[in-house]
A and B are shown apart, each in its own frame.
Chain A
Amino acid sequence: MEQFLQQIASGLANGAIYACVALALVMIYVSTDHINFAQGEMAMFSTYLSWQLMTWGASYWVAFAAAVVLSFILGVIIERAILRPLHNAPVLSVVVVFIGLLAICNSMAGAIWSYLIKEFPSPFPKSSFGIAGVIGPHQLGVVLVTLIVLGLLFAFFRYTPLGLAMRAAAQNPSMARLVGVRVDWMLALGWGLAAAVGAVAGVMVAHIVYLDPNMMGGILLYAFAGALVGGIGNPGGAVLGGFIVGVLENMVAFAGNQIEKTTGIYIIGNGEKLTVALIIVITVLTVRPAGLFGRVVVKRV
């Protein structure tokens, strides 16, 4: 039983990371119809920035905040400088640019900080944090921090005029222009926010997966799976989808281990987690192409 709860808890912690990256993917997808394949590598780069600041003496939280802000600025710059000129380019050219961006982030991080795996600290106190035997201090911290970040983002989009303008620009750009919204800047802002959320995910997960230029590869896949399960056009759905995938992958491995323990037959274990998660994603998409929480657009009949 305790083991079961532990698996759920660590699934939630992983899920929180996937949820952040999934949200970053969706934020760009809803306004441009593109999947930013470089989202994970951008987050990895942000994580190195925070690591660099810490080695220069900044405290964890200062480095965290600075990395988030820097990532926001870098995201805006990338959109303005690289994606802007491609606004009317065919889909494939954009995909190529994303892959190029991914490669550049990866090799730049490798060149600056080397490919050696580095340890990354956790800011959460070992004692008096977490619930003994159920959830570790870092896992609980990750869940809390990401929930706060997601909550802030939700409030921003839901209750501020700027958030409203971004939603309007995503839904109908030409109409948004007709009410005076500077749509191009809204896109850049979306990139900035996506990069910032990605940075949160990267810095939070680095203590678990360690810091190296390839740390986000698998995470991007899970996040993409989460976004698809939840509904790629629906930010709230993508966040839930991220959590679902996180818990699901652990449940699959847990069930496999239990079966092996009781019957001695090995069916499934940690190694097959990703495969099974992806099979489940494909199943969901076959049954519900818009994802579990895909928005059903209300139309008058």
Chain B
Amino acid sequence: MAALLEVKGLKAFYGQTQALHDVSFEISDGGITTLLGANGAGKTTTLRAICNMVRTEGEVRFDGKDIVGRATEEIVRLRIAHVPEGRGTFTTLTVDENLRIAAYTRRDKQGVKDELERVFTYFPRLKERIQQQAGTLSGGEQQMLAIARALMLKPRLMLLDEPSFGLAPLIVQEIFRILRRINQEEGVSILLVEQNAALALDLADYAYVLETGGVVMADRAEVVKNDEGIRKSYLGY
């Protein structure tokens, strides 16, 4: 399969400190790729670098086009949806407004309405809470809202930063089932950052492991999952 996103020699900086040294990887079109690694390895920074939220050097090609240096909102408009760390929802806006904001440039009211309905088929819980302030949702519901809003952007690629963070196992399972459906039914490619390696390896086709700002291992998810040697040395379990 052709690569949807190609990252080559990516460097990222917070002021003077360099957080990524040389990160290279690929995301296949239609696949689910996971980025694993210990705390501080640079996973979040990698997602931020793709969306130009930190100072970046190197090469990021989306669909063949180099996107390094473009404004974040323009990258998003190429249909790369980023669900940030810590459930980024607009807490004072309602569920409805949180979803509609992702479609604010669209003039076809009916189209937006249909889109909302389609998103609600994945997240029926949100439909019940449509007028509720996002800040009053449960943690799991907020994560769902963040993913639902990303889906409203009609993305080709979804970047997810630890969607399981701080959630009960049952909710996490539900969210991961939905992610699989989104990948299969909508054809959305996914780049998943996770602390919970076992969970991520179950969902993904391909895995990369980051360590202190560089890629140290890459293989098919199945291989990583079944190779105790790799797991022990890179993932610590």
Contact = CB atoms under 8 A, between A and B. Distances in A.
A57 to B, nearest CB: 39
A177 B133 contact: no
B157 to A, nearest CB: 13
A125 interface: no
A298 B133 contact: yes
Contact of B101 (A164, A295, A297): A164
Interface stretch (A47-55, A178-186, A284-292): A178-186
B72 A178 contact: yes
B173 to A, nearest CB: 22
A171 interface: yes
Contacts of A175: 84, 88-90
A179 B149 contact: yes
Given A171-B93, A298-B135, A299-B135, A178 B101 contact: no
Interface residues of B, number: 31
A174 interface: yes
Given A162-B104, A178-B76, A300-B138, 19 more contacts: A161-B100, A161-B104, A164-B104, A168-B101, A171-B93, A174-B53, A174-B72, A175-B84, A175-B88, A175-B89, A177-B76, A178-B72, A178-B82, A180-B102, A180-B104, A180-B153, A297-B91, A298-B133, A298-B135
A174 B82 CA distance: 11
6 contacts: A171-B93, A172-B90, A178-B81, A181-B104, A297-B92, A299-B135
Interface in B153-171: 153
A280 to B, nearest CB: 29
A66 interface: no
A171 B93 CA distance: 9
Contacts of A165: 101, 104
B118 interface: no
A300 B136 contact: yes
Given A178-B72, A183-B73, A164 B82 contact: no
Interface of A: 161-162, 164-165, 167-168, 171-172, 174-183, 295, 297-300
B22 interface: no
A172 B90 CA distance: 7
Contacts of B72: 174, 177-178
Given A165-B101, A168-B101, A178 B133 contact: no
Contacts of B149: 179
Contact of A181 (B82, B101, B137): B101
A180 B81 CA distance: 9
Nearest to A158: B97
A268 B181 CA distance: 73
Contacts of A178: 51, 72, 76, 81-82, 84, 88
Contact of B105 (A180, A183, A295, A297): A180
A176 B135 CA distance: 16
Residue of B81, B90, B105, B135 with most chain A CB atoms under a 10 A cut-off: B90
B113 interface: no
Contact of B92 (A162, A171, A176, A182): A171
